[in-house]
A and B are shown apart, each in its own frame.
Chain A
Amino acid sequence: MKLSVKLIYFITGSKIAVVLIFILSVPFLVERIASEYTNYSLRDQQKKVMNNVRRHGVGFYLQGDKSYGSYTMLKEEYIALEPAGPGADMDTIQTEERIVEQDTLNYRVLSYTFRVGSNRYLLEIGKTTGSINQYNKPLQRIALYVLMGLIAVTIIIDLIFTRILISPLKEIIQTKLIKRKFPFKEPAVPVKTSTGDFKYLDQSLIDLMDQINVDFEKEREFTANASHELMTPISILQTKMENLLAEENISEATTMSIIGMMKTLGRLKKISSSLLFISRIENAQFARTDQIKPAKLITDVLEEISHRMEEKGLKLHVSLSDDVTLNNVNQDLLFQFFYNLINNAIKYNVEKGSISISDHRGRSGYSIVISDSGIGIAKEELDFIFDRFRKTNLGENVGYGLGLSIVKSIAVYNGIDVKVASVVGEGSKFTITFGDFDAKITGGKP
């Protein structure tokens, strides 16, 4: 689930929860407010009564009677003044039942005793509680509507805001992780954001990539230097052996062992120069300015390699269109690229097997498919065949394990996509796709 969706779910959920709690607690709150208000108004009325008593004497109410009582019409309020019996002084507000003209009603009752001269009086002011709770239902309904409306508005604002808030994350992933191609040549541009966490993430990724670059640079430098440093001693050995072989008076056994040494040296030479070749590709030492026709290039490769194909008695099917031109590639590198792939198709083929080379134009670009009837590659090995010194087909004809590494380097350098499918015992299929920007597809022949 997306972070923005999660955030919206959480925010909405918590808002709804708060609103529900509020609405459920409305009756209680209303009761509290009403009771506070009732208490307040009872005290207010008490004050007024006491003012009157103070100003006009208690007779103002009693008018000569022993007690005074008054009700409002619907008995919602009453006021009573009577002589107090013996007992403690009172000054309370309580909810009590009162029987008024045969009706038992709940009242909020203020009881207050006071003295006038030597007489003690009890003042009671009552107010029904029933009238207090009648507003609960409509209040709840109105609160529900208003709050739900507010929630809807805030959710829309939240949606917009979280989207804006989270957008740098998407940008960081896009620019730093997905779109960047290794090796990272151009410096990384920090994503613009005022969110500290994203800045931190972005900077961490930039640092990480810089570190990878530094390490990669070191490895590349090492490969180049090491291979280069090997070339001089290999040269010396090679020339020494060549001169030794030309000596007149050496025995056949010596000759054979010199030849053996030369073969081993040849292997060393091949490995070093392959590594150096890879590091040169990675160092971008080859111009990518050639325009080539793949049909012609592959014909040249096949001519160069035909003797190997003939030796194994392989059948070859080539079907390539003549009117395709690849732009911005390096001819030598592409030659090596197809040479290695076709060479493998021969090397790991069976006697009297077959190789087929065809092409097609698809949505993703121009593809060339090289398939063979060879021994195939095990599924668990497929991911590693482009690794250096990885040898998967441990048959009698094992190479150095660098052929496909070179293929990979050239592919990366020239923006070529290589896909492999293989079934052990049936053969392998390499699909090589040149992106649209590299493949200028002209119309048919005039």
Chain B
Amino acid sequence: MKVLIIEDEKTLAYEMETFLKKAFYLCDLAHTAAKAAECIEMNQYDFILLDLGLPDGDGLSLLPKAKKHNPEAAYIILTARGNLEDKIAGLDLGADDYLAKPFSLLELQSRMQAIARRKFNVNAETVPLGDFSVNLQTRFIYFQAQQIELSRKEFDLLSYLLLHKNRVLTRMQLSEHIWGTFADDDYDSNYIDAHIKNIRKKLNTYAPTDWLETVRGVGYRIRK
């Protein structure tokens, strides 16, 4: 998958690139609207991550032109402005999603994956997970043909860990994903632990869940 990161903060753009590269995305960087326009004309991208506050112009005004050259691409607006008008304007102009800064890179990738599933039909099939298989589209988990009931939050947790497999996710990162802006500051509370315990309990009746690891003092990881 090819990604264009339009972001004037070079450090931030670089960190995004580092992260996405590890998830096997190919990244181009553009720090100005002019450079971005050039990239969009020259290449075809799957994802265009668009910061709104650019030194030489408003990111939003890039959107219609970009859509003309890259109609297939998925657009995610990234902004520190975070006001409602921007969000509505962005989505009206055909952006697929909207992330307010500061965002977690894990969250960014999760959104990108959701769009990919929706738009490009990636991972529409079930994903194997130990002896289980997970359908991210329908949000069901199966043991052979047997469908297992997980609560909404339990499934969110499991799919987030699965998306970032082989990476330790902290309780805080998991909390922020599950509860979003309602995540409180008590990251050390055991709400996440309770959910993980429930997931293990439900799945262990069918098959072992040793792929779901507890990393002491840090958090959880799905190893595959």
Contacts and interface: CB of A to CB of B under 8 A. Distances in A.
Interface residues of A, number: 39
12 contacts: A231-B82, A231-B101, A239-B15, A239-B16, A259-B170, A266-B185, A267-B185, A270-B185, A280-B83, A311-B190, A311-B194, A397-B186
Contacts of A259: 170, 172, 217-218
A235 B80 contact: yes
Residue of B16, B81, B170 with most chain A CB atoms under a 10 A cut-off: B170
B224 interface: no
Contacts of A234: 101-102
Given A262-B172, A266-B187, A242 B19 contact: yes
A32 to B, nearest CB: 88
B85 A285 contact: yes
Contacts of B136: none
A228 B105 contact: no
B82 A276 contact: yes
B125 interface: no
B194 A238 contact: no
Interface of B: 9, 11-12, 15-16, 18-19, 22, 80-85, 100-106, 167-168, 170, 172-173, 176, 179, 181-182, 184-187, 189-191, 194-195, 217-218
Contacts of B102: 231-232, 234-235, 238, 269
Interface in A197-224: none
Contacts of A255: 168, 218
Interface string A221-247: 000000010011011101110110110
Contacts of B187: 263, 266
A273 B181 contact: yes
Contacts of B195: 307
Nearest to B215: A255
A315 interface: no
Contacts of B22: 246
A343 B181 CA distance: 13
Contact of B172 (A263, A273, A286, A397): A263
Chief secondary structure at chain A's binding surface: helix
A235 B170 contact: no
B189 A228 contact: no
Given A311-B189, A311-B191, A243 B84 contact: no
Contacts of A269: 102
Given A246-B22, A308-B191, A240 B80 contact: no
Going nearest first, the 6 A-B pairs with the smallest beta carbon separation are: A239-B15, A231-B80, A235-B102, A234-B102, A235-B101, A231-B101
A366 interface: no
A400 interface: yes
A240 B15 contact: yes
A232 B101 contact: yes
A384 to B, nearest CB: 21
A243 B19 contact: yes
A236 B12 contact: yes
Contacts of A287: 84
B80 A246 contact: no
A286 B84 contact: yes
B184 A243 contact: no
A228 B18 contact: no
Contacts of B100: 231
Given A263-B187, A280-B83, A311-B189, A245 B170 contact: yes
